Amino acid sequence: MVQSSATIDTELPLLLEVQTAQRLYLVPRSHVDYLVKYASATLPERDARGRPVVGCELGALLDPSDLGLPPRNHALTVALRRRTVAMLVARVTNLTAPGPIQPLGPLLTPRLARPWLLGAVVIADSPVLVLDLRRIAADVALGVV
């Protein structure tokens, strides 16, 4: 059976365009439980279910030089079993399904320090990295970073 292109498009994951202090990443919408706008000083100590909230700056986790969020920013919140992790970013600009996620390939993937990347999507002829946000949140909650 031949699938229409509309059917294929709906199978692409919905991606959030996430701007850190200096860089742009994509995050699957399904990895984010809540998206909240915060002043960085006002992150709550616990979430609505009483789990401790761990806050961190997403860009600096990935690249220590990616620092300098504006005073008001967004938190991508991932709720785990015992903790909620709030990853701060400058802004979340878009919800989009720009194209297929391409793997980073057999040369690069095994050489990464952490398995935090799902691949990359080509936007305007430039690759944009797609983050495995749930994996990052799990590592933050475990204190391994």
Partner 1 sequence: MAQQQPPPTPAPAETGEFLLVRVSDELYALPSAAVREVARWRAPTAVPGAPPILPGIISQRGVVTPIVDLRLMLGLAAQATTRATRLIIMHHESCDLALLVDAVLDLAALPPADLTPPPAALEPSRARLLTAVARYGDRPLALLSLPALIAAVQENL
Chain positions contacting partner 1, by CB under 8 A: 62-63, 102-108, 110-114, 116-117, 119-120, 122, 125-129
In the complex, minimum distance from the CB of residue 52 to partner 1, in angstroms, rounded to a whole number: 26
Q: Which is nearer to partner 1, 5 or 42 (CB)?
A: 5
Shortest reach from residue 104's CB to partner 1, in Å: 7
CB of residue 11 vs partner 1: minimum separation in angstroms?
19
N-term to C-term CA, the chain: 48
Q: 127 CB contacts (<8 Å, ≥6 apart)?
A: 102, 120, 121
Decide whether 48 or 124 has the Cβ nearer to partner 1: 124
For 4, 60, 117, 130, the CA distances from 109, given in Å and listed in that order, are: 32, 21, 8, 13
3-state SS assignment for residue 141 = helix
Task: Please say which residue, 24 or 35, places its beta carbon nearer to partner 1.
Answer: 24
